[in-house]
Structure 1
């Protein structure tokens, strides 16, 4: 190809790229104009797509992923647990940690975690190779290794014959009295996350297991077909997710795109 034709081809490619960029930029600006991110408090979790704040239009969030503010607290209305305070949202890993708000009719949040199927159309409990086991013992004891066994749970241990503990996947059977029985292996730990995944060191287990035992803190992943799949891909690329009301689909925001020189 001679130089004039080559330059013409490059110019055409740049024009098409520019036109595509302008359309994407306009789409992004429309979304950001209507759907800015929020926090209920300075240090509260950021609320952005696929979540939305209750005062925002429905198009600012995926179906069933509405949050609200109550004072400085971020609130999720879970279909099974009811109102929960959101303690963290990890968009890259599609994880939300919550604590059920204690009501007079539910004085022991941990009881509901072990006796009820908490999964909904949107929120699922994460699958983990690090199995956490709820055990029931007939005598009270002080765990020799507080980094692998937490408890007892005061609200479950309501008589002198049942004491409940949470044991990590690394706990040894020798760390427990002979009169302990495993009750459930489906209690997820609401870990903190960095870009590589959950922070599951022993100190973190000790802290988070206490939150499960004492306050019923738990964790969910979320999933809504192509919307949340597309958004997680954006997060892994270091970009935020938006939603096009014209195309009715999620898109990755294009901050910092480089056009033809």
Structure 2
């Protein structure tokens, strides 16, 4: 009889261990909801996939992701179904941080077309031709434009402009101060699409994840800085 009871209740114990301390969290009421594969730094390690998915709250209650090498960006949104994270630079000059960023050392990928940065001595009126002015890098007589490498380059290659560098990010990243990244592993988008949770079996870190039903005890918590 005792063996039968163990077999009946073991899945429930397993589910409870998976969710223990892993309630949906956020840094503020308007911030993104945080759950697996992400976790806040104060939560148990089994709540997140690995260290690269660890988030923390700063003293302004912003949600912060640290990328290599020591690039700190604010999390604006997490799309768990599409497995995309939307970031921005709180200092409003993401262009100064992207040269230090090495995604090959992170869990995230970027599928954007590359962008060329040009320094132009003459102004351009708008971004109708697939380019953005980068205000934080510009000054009178030195206007920096981010140009999609496949779009209208002749306006810059044969004009009063000098190419500075090419970066593997969208031109809108420089102009709008926002960066969108994807993650491929773990594959949890299907769980989210079905309205299920995703996590490690029995709360231990394995090489693969699984889906399990959400429960009414999966409550949200606000991180207090």
What's the TM-score once normalised by structure 2's chain length?
0.72
Match of 1:212 in 2: 174
| Alignment CA distance shift 1:246-1:40 (3 Å) | closer
2:197 to 240, 249, 252: 240
Q: Which has the higher strand share?
A: 2
Q: Give the equivalent residue in structure 1 for 2:125.
A: 142
CA distance in 2 between partners of 1:69 and 1:95 (Å): 20
Matches within 5 A, 1:1-261: 23-64=10-51, 65-70=53-58, 71-102=60-91, 108-113=93-98, 115-128=99-112, 130-143=113-126, 145=128, 148-151=130-133, 153-158=134-139, 160=141, 162-168=142-148, 171-173=151-153, 178-181=159-162, 183-188=165-170, 209=172, 212-213=174-175, 215=177, 217-224=178-185, 228-229=186-187, 231-245=188-202, 248-249=205-206, 250-255=209-214
Larger Rg: 1
User: Could you report, residue by residue, the CA deviation over 1:83-115 in whole angstroms, capped at 9, with x for unpaired residues?
Assistant: 32111111222222222343xxxx9431231x3
CA displacement at 1:58 relative to structure 2: 0.9
| 4+ aligned runs moved over 6 Å, structure 1 | none
Q: How many residues align?
A: 203
CA distance 1:92–1:214, change in 2 (3 Å): closer
Q: Secondary structure at 1:234's aligned position in 2? A: helix
Equivalent pair of 2:119/2:162 in contact (CA under 8 Å): yes
Equivalent-residue separation in structure 1 for 2:66 and 2:75 (angstroms): 10
Q: Deviations over 1:109-146 (max 9, x none)?
A: 31231x33421533334123x55443332312212627
Would you say the 8 A contact 2:68–2:105 is kept in 1?
A: no
CA offset digits 1:160-210 (Å, max 9, x no partner): 2x3212234774346657234554251236xxxxxxxxxxxxxxxxxxx3x
Gaps of 5+ in 1: 1-18, 190-208, 257-261
TM-score (norm 1): 0.63
Greater RCO, CA 8 A, separation 6+: 2
Measure the CA separation in 2 of the matches of 1:34 and 1:116.
Answer: 34
Whole-angstrom CA distance in 1 between matches of 2:202 and 2:170:
36
Query: Closer, same or farther in 2 for the Cα pair 1:240/1:181, shift >3 Å?
Result: farther
- In 1: Cα distance, 2:200 partner to 2:76 partner: 25
